[in-house]
Chains A and B, each alone.
Chain A
Amino acid sequence: MYAFDIERPTSLADAKALLAGEAQALGGGQTLIPTLKQRLADPGTLVCLSGIAEMKGVTSGPDGVAIGGGTTHAEAAEGLKDAIPGLAYLASRIGDPAVRNRGTIGGSLANDDPSACWPAGALGLGATIVTDAREIAADDFFQGMFTTALEDGEIVTAVRFPVPEASAYSKMIQPASRFPLVAAFVARFPDGVRVAITGASEDGVFRWREAEGALSADFSPEVVTGQPEGPMIADLHGTADYRRHLCAVMTRRAVRAALDGTGGLSSAGA
């Protein structure tokens, strides 16, 4: 680590002011701290968001569920259990307990790792990402690996999710990191089905439109055939062909879980 200063604002307004300069936001630190330890970043000043009460918690209302940007994965998993079990399941399978009790939804979305879980939930549900400056539809937010619509210093303050009729998440883990190797989030709304895939594409999280079309007509696993197009990630843990294949497998499993109402399933077991 290089030496850095840390600021601990307790209001969003203070955080915003502090981030106007050369500083960087610190969420749960589950991505940023390892990066600093490797000396791959030298931010000078970190602005810690975890003391800002207005950025925390899960609230359900008539138009959906809002999750504060500083809410941890574990808090989200708990708060979403009744409202959106599929999303609660997603949050409950991120990393391990230490990661879940520190890492935040805002940090995960801002980071937009091509293998992260929350982007699949946000895109799969058509969420709205609320920042200190504006509101961004998930369809516009994710712009490729580690790239989002956020401006420098812009803070994810909350994420609003519409409540689907049914949803589920199916995650095939990468055996070392336990991030998704490929995972699919499937959500059924009265006006159609959305399918978001993470871990697979070199362009980051994406919607699999063909599967959405087929599932909107008939919400059953058997209709998910074929494979998504586009460049797929190839690494130690799986070839592009394997990942492409898993897109359909994970989507079918998510559909099955949505129909069963189990919230999802993971190759890492119970």
Chain B
Amino acid sequence: MPKDTGIGASTKRREDVRFLTGKGRYTDDIDVRGQAHVVFLRSDVAHARIGGIDTSEAEAMPGVIRVFTGRDFEGVGGLPCGWQITDRHGQPMQEPAHPVLAQGKVRHVGDPIAAVVAETRQQARDAAEAIMPDLEELPAVIDMKAALAEDAPKVHDDLTSNLCYDWGFVEENKAATDEAFAEAAHVTTLELVNNRLIANPMEPRVAVGDFNAATGDHTLYTTSQNPHVIRLLMGAFVLGIPEHKLRVVAPDVGGGFGTKIFHYAEEAFCTFAAKALGRPVKWTSSRSEAFMSDAHGRDHVTKIELALDAQNNFTALRTETYANMGAYLSTFAPSVPTWLHGTLMAGNYRTPLVYVNVKAVFTNTVPVDAYRGAGRPEATFQLERVIDLAARELGVDPIALRRQNFITEFPYQTPVAVEYDTGDYEGTMKVLEEKADLAGFAARRKESEAKGKMRGLGVNCYIEACGIAPSKLVGQLGARAGLYESATVRVNATGGITVMTGSHSHGQGHETSFAQVVADMIGLPEDMVEIEHGDTANTPMGMGTYGSRSLAVGGSAMVRATEKIVAKAKKIAAHLMEASEGDIELKDGTFTVAGTDKEVAWGDVTLAAYVPHNYPLEEIEPGLEETAFYDPNNFTYPAGAYACEVEVDPETGQVTVERFTAADDFGNVVNPMIVEGQVHGGLAQGIGQALLESCAYDEEGQLLSASYMDYAMPRAHDLPMFTVDSSSRTPCTHNPLGVKGCGEAGAIGSPPSVVNAVIDALHSGGHRVGHIDMPLTPARVWAAMNGAVPNMGAAQPAARTDATTEARSVGGPATRT
């Protein structure tokens, strides 16, 4: 029986009423009295030395209050990087300065050169056009391999090269891994690109800085997934403002997908300028600016090798990856291709030896950082593609090959540092086989063929590490922050509850699902619980929302705080009913004394807490408000199996996704409808990456996909009706809700199944194509069918051609089977 309230119920999302009726309050809706507007002059070249910046004409223009350049920020800190990687040789990564406004050089198209603050946005824009920067253009490095060549131009003159780090993991396994390859019965090698993406949340970034000269208080309103993190990073490292004098508010946020985790220059600028000018300063990104200033995602070039023994058991895995950092290190950029990627390379399989090498490279492109899944989609894609290719080379069934190598016993210590607490990969695969009607595929293929289409089936598994993360562990791995979460549960006198969480909701439905949890624990209607988030002034220090961590970590903090509330409320109830505390039971919002008919309502207890006339004041304080911080002791490991069926038009190369089935194990599920919605969104993004989305630069570093005219977002018509099932449940063993997180699964798990399906379709039509790099546009699929070398191993700029680029590959020629 589906529940209609509390944990397990598909309660409708309460926040949607305001989102869908235009009553949301987004950052751009915030206008502070007396505010001025800033427009940034951004570089239109990828790499240049700044000779001088003539701002005199701009300064004299109507409405202009002041023009800022890098000079004005000389005494100010740069944007910090939140994660330090130690390389294969024990050395720290190279970490360049990241000034708020460019100093000395511009390093990518979009790099801010100057900022004009004026009375209106229009005036600021007019004046920005009148600024004359003296730019001496320098050769740009766009391609990662070219960037690492001996004589390559350097993005940062003060670094020794464009190599940020050369990371080996697990370095101690390298020799043994190489040995296993030497002894392997079969080795499958694949080179591939994980295409660069632009997150494109519906709401562009906005920042409003305000300063109260009388009190010395700063306020920043910003489109952020983690206001406390911004307060800490910007306050401590950039502007030197202590937290008690800095309030950061992230109100309704229209989608983030990772790109709103990071601390951006525009936030620091508005906060700084508000004080410097004694005026609130507002910035609203245009969509064009978003394309060249929001951190991009993915952009890995990988060579992966899988070793198998004569019985087709996986014996070793070896990868070499180039990861694009862009021109500067965005907040969490270094962690994405390393700890969020290398630790997942074991996948769902018992491969005993894994060695991952990652070279992170600076290029004259927009900084790259976490995007939905962050590192884990890159790991899953390469692993699930190479397994598919191995199955094809060996002539075995790709599902059987996976099954044979599944991890079946838990907890399982992988060779890449993490320990999976629980899982059932065979279970999700069985669900998939049934829900996707894999048995019926052959008949569906025949139908497609009768219509002149090639049909393919692609299946893959995935695992991710979510519920980020144990602070102690990530500290050892180089994180410069803890990754706990917090909650304050405030019970009001008349019984209603306000929960203040350090998590942040920007589309995930926390206001609904978090309320379900607290209401369920006490036995109250959900509408008695309100969720507050996004304002550092009234929420406890929290780390925000990303890495599918909100319910697993934030929800756990909320459970702990609610447990404290219940414990105290029972003490009060015991006093009111003159019973002993141990006999008090709480059910459906009513306290009873075991074995008697005595009872007292929730509201009587809460009232007593605030009107303590009859109250155990000698034992406990009045009031009913508790805070808890929760630090997980492991990641959570959602996993699943996905199946995609495509049709390919043999004349045009056009791919259409005909069926898509997801079988996920998210552990316990609080709101099945919200979980299904999260999977749908993730699938749309994953299918978008596989078929449509491509951020491309030309050789000079101009962004080719700089608007929606060239950057293809997935639309409803590009997607089939999804079949989504999360009935496989192995609850997380180490958090109180037994939940694992579902926000990224769809985006992590779906790209390989789409590509596997297209390759399968092409083989059915007699095209022995080993691989095609994403996005699998009609042009690329057609070229692959017609003998072009797949676009393999190509670093940026990749997207412009369909037949590339051995020169840019990691090594070795393209694979054809």
Main secondary structure, interface of A, reads: loop
A-B contact count (CB 8 A): 59
Also in contact, A267 and B652, with CB within 8 A (given A175-B712, A239-B801):
yes
Of B51-59, B97-105, B703-711, the stretch lying at the interface with chain A is B703-711
Within 8 A of A (CB), among B798-814: 799-802
Please name all residues of chain B whose beta carbon is closer than 8 Å to the beta carbon of A249 when the two chains form the complex. 651-652
Nearest CB on A from B785, distance (A): 11
Please name all residues of chain B whose beta carbon is closer than 8 Å to the beta carbon of A268 when the two chains form the complex. 717
A98 within 8 A of B: no
CA distance A175 to B776 in the complex (A): 11
B541 within 8 A of A: no
Please name all residues of chain B whose beta carbon is closer than 8 Å to the beta carbon of A242 when the two chains form the complex. 778-779, 782-783, 802
Please name all residues of chain B whose beta carbon is closer than 8 Å to the beta carbon of A241 when the two chains form the complex. 783
B696 within 8 A of A: yes
B692 within 8 A of A: yes
Residue among B129, B649, B779, B799 with most chain A CB within 10 A: B779
Q: Is the CB of A269 within 8 A of B717?
A: yes
Nearest CB on A from B289, distance (A): 12
Q: Is the CB of B654 within 8 A of A267?
A: yes
CA distance A268 to B651 in the complex (A): 15
Contact of A236 among B649, B652, B691, B800 (CB under 8 A): B800
A246 within 8 A of B: yes
Query: In the complex, how many residues of chain A place their beta carbon closer than 8 angstroms to a beta carbon of chain B?
Result: 20
Nearest CB on A from B613, distance (A): 64
Q: Is the CB of A236 within 8 A of B705?
A: yes
Please name all residues of chain A whose beta carbon is closer than 8 Å to the beta carbon of B801 when the two chains form the complex. 239
Please name all residues of chain A whose beta carbon is closer than 8 Å to the beta carbon of B606 when the two chains form the complex. none
Please name all residues of chain B whose beta carbon is closer than 8 Å to the beta carbon of A38 when the two chains form the complex. 288
CA distance A181 to B692 in the complex (A): 14
In the complex formed, the residue of A with least CB distance to B651 is A249
Residue among A175, A176, A238, A246 with most chain B CB within 10 A: A175
CA distance A235 to B712 in the complex (A): 14
Nearest CB on A from B811, distance (A): 26
Q: Is the CB of A176 within 8 A of B712?
A: yes
Nearest CB on A from B551, distance (A): 35
Q: Is the CB of B708 within 8 A of A236?
A: no
Please name all residues of chain A whose beta carbon is closer than 8 Å to the beta carbon of B782 when the two chains form the complex. 242, 245
Nearest CB on A from B677, distance (A): 24
Q: Is the CB of B708 within 8 A of A237?
A: no
Within 8 A of A (CB), among B702-742: 704-705, 708-713, 717
CA distance A175 to B777 in the complex (A): 8
Query: Hey, what's the 0/1 contact readout for A225-268 against B, CB within 8 Å counting as 1?
Result: 00000000001111101100110010000000000000000011
Nearest CB on B from A200, distance (A): 13
Nearest CB on A from B111, distance (A): 20
CA distance A176 to B777 in the complex (A): 11
Q: Is the CB of B288 within 8 A of A176?
A: no
Please name all residues of chain B whose beta carbon is closer than 8 Å to the beta carbon of A269 when the two chains form the complex. 656, 717
CA distance A172 to B652 in the complex (A): 9
Q: Is the CB of A236 within 8 A of B709?
A: no
Residue among B288, B654, B778 with most chain A CB within 10 A: B778
Q: Is the CB of B717 within 8 A of A176?
A: no
In the complex formed, the residue of A with least CB distance to B653 is A242
B694 within 8 A of A: yes
Also in contact, A172 and B778, with CB within 8 A (given A242-B802, A269-B717):
yes
Q: Is the CB of A236 within 8 A of B717?
A: no
Q: Is the CB of B779 within 8 A of A239?
A: yes
Please name all residues of chain A whose beta carbon is closer than 8 Å to the beta carbon of B713 when the two chains form the complex. 176
List 10 additional A-B contacts (Cβ < 8 Å) besides A176-B692, A238-B778. A175-B692, A176-B711, A235-B800, A236-B696, A242-B778, A242-B779, A249-B652, A267-B652, A267-B654, A269-B717
Q: B-contacting residues of A (Cβ < 8 Å)?
A: 38-39, 172, 175-177, 181, 235-239, 241-242, 245-246, 249, 267-269
Leading 8 A-B pairs by shortest Cβ distance: A176-B712, A238-B779, A175-B712, A177-B709, A242-B779, A249-B651, A176-B710, A175-B692
Give 11 A-B contacts (CB < 8 Å), ordered by A residue. A172-B652, A172-B654, A176-B705, A176-B710, A176-B712, A176-B713, A242-B783, A245-B782, A249-B651, A267-B654, A269-B656
